[in-house]
Structure 1
Amino acid sequence: MPQQGLGIAPRLRYLVGRARRIDVGSVLERAKEASAQHKKWTPAVVVDMLWQAGFRNVGFQDYIDYDFAILTAAERATYMTHPVSNQLSQKFDHPDFRYIFQDKVEFDRVFSEHLHREWMVVEEGNAAEVFAFAQRHGTIVTKEPVGQAGTGVHRYHAAEITDAEEFHRGLLARGELLIEEVIVQHAALAAVCPGTVNTTRITAFFDGERTHILAMAQKFGRGAVSDQMTFGGFYTMLDDNGRAVGPGYDSHGHVHARHPDSGFLIGDFQLPMMDEVRSFIDRVARVVPQVQYVGWDVVVTPDGPVLVEGNWGAGVYENKPSATGIRTGHKARYREAIGF
């Protein structure tokens, strides 16, 4: 497809904003972390981090997560980074349609046929309906309409609800307005972590005719309601066939060759039903074609993939060289599909 440059104006706006928000203490802490891990001189790492941020569109956390301290310039250039991803989101996700992805209730309404689970909204006067929903499913998940990184997600067991009216009042007071049936995941996912519904993040771009899968990451939880890192979760990258490329890792310096709880060897993981997953992503990407660049969170169930949410600010999941031995990223795939 034709080249679609990101433009100098967004780049300059980003740099100005970044300069205003820079946290010197945080940069130093990250530099010390990289210095200790890779045996590099801390002042040199600081300078390199600032140069990469200012002139190479590399976030400070990107620098740490993707081991830039040990990569050559050519290897670094292959990595997708959060600043570049943010610019793509701003360019290809139409502002008039982003609200669908920001509000979880609206998202469930628009994508209802792709959720494959029951859901409802907590409102004044529907305590009996909420209680009946919980009783019907045994365990439920509640969500605050606006949240990210797993914040605002809670899990309740019907057996623990002794007063339907009080439970309902609490949900309203805390803003937990969306209730969903718990997803039953495929045995291949439950074998790694049965206590958490483990989602697959699939970053994709819809060019108006074709859906391009740019990167796939498998997230694993630690038994909590969410598999996000704020709940102790981690991820591993998957290849085009859904096979893990190596151990799991997070943004806190933890590398997991095996799942800490189940002992499952992460490098042996294979996402099932990959043909169905590809077709599913193509279908959901066409629902709101004005939002072209999305990070889709899906779960493979015994009956096929189901949709959890879509993120118009897709974020970035990439290879970690010190964990996987892979010293290249996915930027070439993004460029081929999007043309920037």
Structure 2
Amino acid sequence: MSILKKLKWKYDNYVNFVSDIWKASKLESKKANMNRLIIYFDILWERIAYCHIVLDYQTLGFAYVRDKKKRRMYLNAKQWHEVDRSLNDYIMSEYKYTKKVDCYKCLKSLFKREILVVEESSKEEIEDFMNRKGFCFAKADIGYGGLAVEKLNYSDFKGIDDFIDYLNKKQYKLLEEVIKQHPDVSRLSPTSINTVRMTTLTDGDGNVHFLQHIIRMSDGTSNVDNITSGGIYTFVDRDGTITSNVATGDNMSYDSRGDIVYEKHPLSKIPFKGYKIPFIKEAEELVEKGCKLNLNYKHLGWDIAITPDGPDLVEVNTQPGYDMIQNYHHVPGENKGKSHRYEEILGIEFKRKNIIFHRGTSFSKTKPEYTKTYNNNKENGYL
């Protein structure tokens, strides 16, 4: 990249950065009932000094959380990134969890539905699978946020050759049987497969710890539960009861983000608080088993579908989001971030002072094994 192109790239990023904060400050100033310029510089300071991006300011409810000490208890982007690279060894693991085929091969026993790896299946096996199933979900090896996934109807193709040509053209690597959802989960949100996101930390002794469970679902206007594709979410406790008064969504627009809040599902009209999600205990057991199948990954987000026969793994994610489990609307009155939970479980401590004058690691206390994993990732380009 030439010097002029680099300068233009930096300039464009700077303009977008300033513009995004200005857009967000309009809405956030109304929430805080404060002058827009004050909120603008507050967002800017949180970003520069404490690595809370604009999305954090809005999702974590910093317009309402005015206590600076309470804000420091929220996990930020820098801490989250460093935790991921300190707990997930992307180099040592034979299976790369950033790739869906590797995930399937490593965690095959946790998938209850039938799945084919396209490149390892014969033409006859693919044809038999589609003749029996009729429909399937085709997935690329790498994809996020519900992208690179497509529901295919075999009757839309001229035959097996046409079908395989399409798979190759779209670079789809997995074919998955369509999940049959538990009726109680479908009743809440009938237009999508609604998954329970379980975020886990595995400590140095191999013990699995669960952070906040979340159920994600469509708002009724889409067929997926991904938040970036029209989904909404709410908190679920460990017995399967929805504890939040509301579900929240994200339209990915800085000047209106945070306004998507529902007390009832917009399509089914079922109130969220108190609704029961079945098989949560069994889902935890499945996830705990998965954590122990590959101890190179100790910080993961597990997406679990609930079927009439129990839980079924949809996929596992490295770098599980830190924003949803700290969403302001789901912990009213507490204003409590999750950084202390990471510290308690992992035996680490985060720096609380601003990072302008404290460059380098975000840890003030860590463990040798975490430092080793972080350095291994760094030396091999996984930062």
TM-score by length of 1: 0.87
Q: Say whether 1:216 aligns with 2:213.
A: yes
- Which residue identity lines up with residue 25 of structure 2 in the other structure? A
Q: CA deviation at 1:323?
A: 6.3
> Structure 1 residues 68, 262: CA separation in 2 closer, same or farther (over 3 Å shift)?
same
Contact between 2:31 and 2:63, CA under 8 Å: does it hold in 1? no
Quote the residue 1:205 is aligned against: 201
Looking at structure 2, the residues matched to 223 and 196 of structure 1 have their Cα atoms a distance apart, in angstroms, of: 10
1:103 to partner: Cα distance: 0.7
Query: Cα gap change, 1:137/1:202 in structure 2, threshold over 3 Å: closer, same or farther?
Result: same
Deviation at 1:299, TM superposition (A): 1.6
Asked whether the 8 Å contact 2:139–2:149 carries over to 1, the reply is: yes
In 1, the alpha carbon distance for the partners of 2:221 and 2:136 equals 15
Q: Secondary structure at the match of 2:325?
A: coil
SS of the counterpart of 2:34? coil
Equivalent residue in structure 2 for 1:84, among 71, 75, 79: 79
Whether the 8 Å contact between 1:101 and 1:309 is mirrored in structure 2 is no
Deviation digits for residues 285-326 of structure 1 (CA, Å, limit 9, x no counterpart): 111101111111112222222211111111122344356634
* Corresponding residue SS for 1:266: coil
Between 208-217 and 321-330, the greater mean CA deviation after superposition: 321-330
Q: Work out whether 1:325 is the aligned partner of 2:321.
A: no
Task: Choose which of 260, 265, 272 in structure 2 pairs with 1:266.
Answer: 272
Q: 1:124 Cα shift?
A: 9.4
Match of 1:231 among 213, 229, 232: 229
Aligned runs of 1:44-193 on 2, under 5 Å? 44-71=38-65, 72-96=67-91, 97=93, 100-123=96-119, 126-193=122-189
Shift, 1:157, TM fit: 2.4
Return the TM-score normalized by structure 2. 0.77
Q: Counterpart amino acid of 1:90?
A: R
Q: Which segment is superposed worse, 267-276 or 306-315?
A: 267-276
Q: What is the DSSP-based 3-state SS (H/G/I as helix, E as strand, rest coil) of the residue aligned with 2:278?
A: coil
Q: Distance in 1 between matches of 2:101 and 2:232?
A: 26
- Give the Å deviation of 1:159: 3.4
Aligned twin of 1:301: 307
**Amino acid in the other structure paired with 1:266:** F
Partner SS state of residue 212, structure 2? strand
Q: Deviations over 1:241-282 (max 9, x none)?
A: 332222111233311212222222122322222322222221
Q: Structure 1 216/309 Cα, relative in aligned 2: closer, same or farther at 3 Å? A: same
Distance 1:83 1:21 in 2: 19
Supply the RMSD in Å over aligned alpha carbons.
2.5
Give yes or no for the alignment of 1:246 onto 2:245: yes
Contact 1:82 1:315 in 2 (8 A): no
CA distance in 1, matches of 2:176, 2:270: 29
Worse-superposed segment, 111-120 or 94-103: 94-103
Report how far residue 122 of structure 1 moved.
2.4
Q: Is the 8 A contact 1:294 1:311 kept in 2?
A: yes
Cα distance in structure 1, aligned partners of 2:298 and 2:192: 29
CA–CA distance in structure 2, aligned partners of residues 312 and 19 of structure 1: 31
Gaps of 5+ in 2: 1-9, 252-257, 349-383
Q: Note closer, same or farther for the CA distance 1:335–1:124 as it changes in structure 2 (3 Å cut).
A: closer
Looking at structure 1, the residues matched to 241 and 77 of structure 2 have their Cα atoms a distance apart, in angstroms, of 24
Superposed displacement of residue 225, structure 1: 4.5
CA gap 1:319/1:239 in 2 versus in 1, 3 angstroms = farther
* Distance in 1 (alpha carbons) for counterparts of 2:228 and 2:80: 21
Letter in 1 for 2:308: P
Q: What corresponds to 1:24 in structure 2?
A: 18
SS of residue paired to 1:278:
helix
The change in CA–CA distance for 1:132 and 1:284 in structure 2 (over 3 A counts) is: same
The equivalent of 2:293 in structure 1 is: 287
Q: Which amino acid aligns with 1:321?
A: Y
CA distance in 2, matches of 1:318, 1:336: 17
User: Are the aligned partners of 1:142 and 1:179 in contact in 2 as well (CA < 8 Å)?
Assistant: yes
**What's the secondary structure of 1:267's corresponding residue?**
coil
Structure 1: give runs of 5+ residues left out of the alignment: 1-17
Identity level (%): 24
Q: How many aligned positions are there? A: 323
- Partner SS for 1:268: coil
DSSP 3-state at the match of 1:298? strand
